[in-house]
């Protein structure tokens, strides 16, 4: 009871503070702020609908609500756990898209994609939680005991194995696999970008050499942070246009600038480090629970 009380207090206080800070910065909300906002809401719901009912239940020693309340609480207890997990997964997927596929992540429909991912977490969590109000109900844990609880009887016994394994798969193994894939891909992409920048920094690239050998009647390069045009004209031929970003440079100086790499590193590494810490905490917090559950399930000597 003491441990649950401390966890409840920390969860409510911590996530309330995060939401308050984000509310003050609502005018400069970024895509990462949106995900952190919904992740904090999910964790706050875990405190309210999972930890708090269980704490009250442990204090009273029995369930005093009716059958409808029993089914609702059991649904919400598992729903908020799924929601917190899959909101974390969606955050990792968004970081993966931003780092590994920046063009697709920051197109005109990126805002729609962000909210689609967030609502997908809510919907997936609800679907995965549907068995809860079906199997849990007010009943006697032991026939003829006269004690009524919000309970589930696994009959035949293999249904308990199915329940525990499906829960472990849906809330631990699959999310962990997705998180590992996303962050291993992010680390690999960052490593490749640093490696490429170091190779290109000392001298002129092949692209520089080939571009310097081009022979065209006239060439005008206008680079700015707004959309510009590269106009190549020759008598009776055609006009090409392309979009370039950066400051005015000579045609031969196409080597990536050092500060662009630093900008990439600072912007991406901050969010990567933040969510990486969350994932490590996720693994450390969930692993003991699922290891003990599986140990209890398959080791008959640990039945009690």
Phi, psi angle pair for 136, to nearest 5°? -90, 140
Taking residues 245-269, report their average pLDDT. Answer: 50
Stretch 208-214: mean pLDDT, rounded?
A: 41
Q: State the pLDDT confidence band at 229, using cuts at 50, 70 and 90.
A: very low
DSSP string, 132-177: HHHH-EEE-SSTTS---EEE---SSTHHHHHHHHHHHIIIIIHHHH
Query: Which pLDDT value is given to residue 254?
Result: 42
Chain segment 15-31, per-residue pLDDT in tens: 999 999 988 876 656 88
- At a CB cut-off of 8 Å and minimum separation 6, what does 195 contact? none
pLDDT at residue 210 tops 50: no
Q: Choose between 263 and 250: higher pLDDT.
A: 263
Q: Which of 55-64, 103-112, 173-182, 230-239 has the lowest mean pLDDT?
A: 230-239
Give the Cα separation of 253 and 207 in Å (integer): 10
Q: In the structure, what pLDDT confidence band is assigned to residue 38 with cuts at 50, 70 and 90?
A: very high
Beta-bridge partners for 139: 149
Using left for φ > 0, alpha for ψ between -120 and 50, and beta otherwise, residue 9 falls in alpha
pLDDT band for position 205 (50/70/90)? very low
Q: Which domains does the chain have, with CATH numbers?
A: 2-199+259-302 (1.20.1070.10)
Q: What is the mean pLDDT of residues 42-53?
A: 96
How far apart CA 225 and CA 132 sit, in angstroms, is 54
Which one of 120-129, 174-183, 283-292 scores highest in mean pLDDT? 120-129
| Predicted local confidence at residue 13, as pLDDT | 96
Return d(Cα 80, Cα 83) in angstroms, integer: 5
pLDDT average, residue stretch 42-59: 94
| 93-97 average pLDDT score | 89
Alpha helix (H) residue ranges in the chain: 2-24, 31-46, 52-60, 67-100, 102-105, 110-128, 131-135, 158-168, 174-200, 206-212, 258-298
Which pLDDT belongs to residue 126?
A: 97
Residue identified by tokens 């196409």 is 254
pLDDT value at residue 262? 58
Query: Hey, what are 9's tokens?
Result: 């207090």
């Amino acid at each position: 009871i003491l441990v649950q009380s401390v966890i409840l207090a920390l969860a409510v206080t911590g996530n309330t503070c995060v939401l308050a800070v984000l509310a003050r910065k609502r005018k400069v909300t970024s895509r990462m702020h949106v995900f952190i906002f919904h992740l904090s809401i999910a964790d706050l719901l875990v405190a309210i609908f999972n930890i708090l009912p269980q704490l009250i239940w442990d204090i009273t020693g029995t369930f005093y609500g009716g059958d409808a309340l029993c089914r609702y609480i059991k649904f919400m207890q598992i729903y908020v756990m799924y929601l917190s997990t899959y909101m974390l997964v969606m955050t990792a997927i968004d970081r993966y898209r931003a780092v590994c596929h920046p063009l697709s992540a920051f197109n005109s429909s990126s805002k729609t994609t962000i909210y689609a991912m967030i609502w997908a977490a809510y919907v997936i969590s609800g679907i995965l939680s549907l068995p809860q109000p079906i199997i849990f109900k007010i009943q006697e844990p032991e026939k003829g005991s006269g004690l009524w609880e919000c309970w589930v009887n696994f009959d035949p016994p293999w249904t308990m194995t199915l329940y525990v394994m499906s829960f472990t798969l849906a809330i631990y193994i699959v999310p962990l696999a997705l998180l590992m894939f996303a962050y291993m891909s992010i680390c690999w992409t960052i490593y490749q970008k640093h490696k490429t920048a170091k190779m290109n920094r000392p001298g002129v690239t092949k692209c520089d050499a080939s571009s310097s050998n081009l022979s065209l009647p006239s060439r005008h390069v206008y680079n700015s942070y707004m959309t510009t045009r590269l106009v190549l004209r020759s008598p009776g031929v055609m006009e090409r246009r392309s979009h370039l970003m950066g400051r005015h440079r000579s045609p031969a100086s196409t080597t990536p600038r050092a500060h662009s790499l630093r900008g990439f590193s600072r912007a991406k590494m901050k969010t990567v480090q933040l969510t990486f810490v969350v994932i490590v905490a996720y693994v450390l917090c969930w692993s003991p629970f699922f290891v003990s559950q599986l140990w209890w399930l398959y080791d008959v000597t640990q039945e009690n």
